[in-house]
């Protein structure tokens, strides 16, 4: 038999070496998985601990604030009107420059503490608060901002932290918590701790509620639809320290927006925003006049994003500032001139 015809013998597979390599790879993978999960678990626990610490830091103050402001709002909206009230302490007007909380809701949306809590979150600072308050320090704050920010990163955040198995997702949650500490938590903390007075405003429904709102669009609430109309408003100023009501009035402020310069017409949304601002400022002037102020403040905005308008109001010196936003907000709210 020739040498070429002799079959070659295959070398045996070194199973021992294969198993050894596979075992090493498995051990490395297990070690990495253990370290990865330990780090993930440690970061998860850190986030939950930090979030709980922040919540605990404001829980008592927020609870106290809610326990006062929400019942006051319900009482103002639901009880028979007792008449105007002017306390001597209100006549000093010193409260205008002190840290103040502002809450404004529709009467029909303030039938219970829970309803106030839910609906007040839609009402930021606006033209009324801008004309009324001239804080020289902290505030003013809207109740919407204080409560909403105290409840940021709530149940959904906690659930995401507990359930996620993705380190990138956990990093995003950690970033959200860091941003909350810097931007949102201070508002909730200061608004709950430093507030000295509460201004409560109740909007009563007009005889006819508009079917639409150019400013707020198709999703406008009833409250948003009536803000630019002539309607009765209830106003109450209270001191948080002792709960004493210092100023109370019910008025139907009259403010007419007239275009005197710029384009022949302004868009409907812009005009509605200015009517809202003018109505709010007119109501602020009514409150100040009752408290003994000789003249009401005006709203200023420079430069105006819409054609310049003049406002004539029943209350003294009521004027409205233009706003680039369709809806009044704490960021877009005009400031009161001093």
- Lowest mean pLDDT across 29-38, 100-109, 297-306: 297-306
19-55: pLDDT as tens digits: 667 767 766 666 565 555 555 667 788 888 888 888 8
* CB 185 within 8 Å of CB 54: yes
How confident is the model at residue 197, as a pLDDT?
Answer: 96
Judged by DSSP in three states, 220 sits in coil
How far apart (Å, rounded) are the C-alpha atoms in residues 239 and 246? Answer: 7
How confident is the model at residue 84, as a pLDDT?
Answer: 95
Cα-based angle 13, 15, 19 (whole degrees, multiple of 5) = 145
Cα-based angle 169, 175, 180 (whole degrees, multiple of 5) = 130
Among the listed residues 254, 126, 103, the one whose alpha carbon sits nearest the alpha carbon of residue 191: 103
187-217: pLDDT as tens digits: 899 999 999 999 999 999 999 998 988 888 8
| pLDDT higher than threshold 60 for residue 226 | yes
Cα-based angle 183, 186, 187 (whole degrees, multiple of 5) = 90
- Lowest mean pLDDT across 25-39, 45-59, 161-175, 176-190: 25-39
CA distances from 167 to 23, 39, 154, 160 (A): 27, 9, 20, 12
How far apart (Å, rounded) are the C-alpha atoms in residues 88 and 244? Answer: 12
Query: Is residue 102 packed enough to be buried (19+ CB in 10 Å), middle (13-18) or exposed (0-12)?
Result: buried
How confident is the model at residue 18, as a pLDDT?
Answer: 61
Structure tokens that stand for 126 in this block: 């606006």
Give the strand pairing for 309-313 and 255-259: antiparallel
How confident is the model at residue 19, as a pLDDT?
Answer: 67
Across the range 151-179, mean pLDDT stands at 81
Cα-based angle 165, 167, 170 (whole degrees, multiple of 5) = 85
* CB 197 within 8 Å of CB 242: no
**Which of 6-15, 50-59, 67-76, 150-159 holds the top average pLDDT?**
67-76
Structure tokens that stand for 302 in this block: 């420079």
How far apart (Å, rounded) are the C-alpha atoms in residues 213 and 272? Answer: 8
Place 148 in a pLDDT band, splitting at 50, 70 and 90. confident
Cα-based angle 153, 156, 161 (whole degrees, multiple of 5) = 85
Between helix 167-179 and helix 155-163 the angle, nearest 10°, is 150
Place 287 in a pLDDT band, splitting at 50, 70 and 90. very high
| pLDDT higher than threshold 60 for residue 330 | no
80-94: pLDDT as tens digits: 999 999 999 999 999
């Amino acid at each position: 038999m020739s040498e070429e015809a002799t079959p070659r013998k295959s070398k045996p597979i070194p199973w021992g070496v294969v198993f050894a390599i596979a075992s090493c790879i498995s051990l490395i993978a297990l070690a990495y998985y253990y370290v990865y999960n330990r780090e993930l678990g440690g970061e998860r626990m850190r986030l939950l601990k930090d979030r709980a610490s922040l919540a605990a830091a404001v829980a008592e103050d927020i609870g106290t604030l809610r326990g006062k402001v929400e019942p006051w709002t319900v009482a103002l909206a639901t009880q028979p009107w007792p008449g105007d009230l002017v306390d001597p302490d209100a006549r000093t007007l010193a409260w205008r420059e002190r840290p103040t909380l502002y809450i404004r809701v529709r009467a029909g949306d303030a039938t219970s503490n829970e309803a106030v809590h839910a609906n007040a979150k839609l009402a930021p600072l606006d033209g009324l608060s801008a004309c009324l308050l001239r804080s020289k320090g902290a505030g003013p704050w809207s109740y919407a901002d204080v409560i909403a920010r105290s409840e940021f990163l709530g149940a959904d955040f906690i659930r995401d932290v507990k359930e996620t198995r993705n380190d990138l997702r956990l990093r995003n949650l950690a970033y959200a918590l860091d941003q909350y500490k810097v931007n949102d938590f201070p508002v909730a903390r200061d608004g709950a701790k430093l507030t000295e007075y509460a201004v409560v405003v109740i909007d009563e429904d007009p005889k006819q509620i508009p079917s639409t709102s150019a400013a707020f669009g198709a999703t406008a609430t009833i409250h948003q639809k009536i803000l630019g109309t002539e309607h009765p408003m209830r106003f109450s100023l209270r001191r948080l320290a002792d709960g004493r009501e210092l100023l109370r009035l019910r008025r139907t402020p009259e403010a007419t927006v007239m275009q005197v310069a710029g384009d022949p017409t302004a868009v409907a949304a812009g005009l509605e925003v200015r009517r809202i601002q003018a109505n709010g400022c007119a109501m602020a002037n009514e409150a100040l006049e009752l408290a003994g102020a000789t003249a009401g403040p005006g709203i200023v905005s420079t430069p105006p994003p819409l054609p310049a308008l003049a406002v004539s109001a029943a209350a003294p010196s009521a004027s409205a500032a233009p706003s680039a936003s369709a809806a009044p907000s704490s960021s877009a709210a005009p400031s009161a001139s001093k």
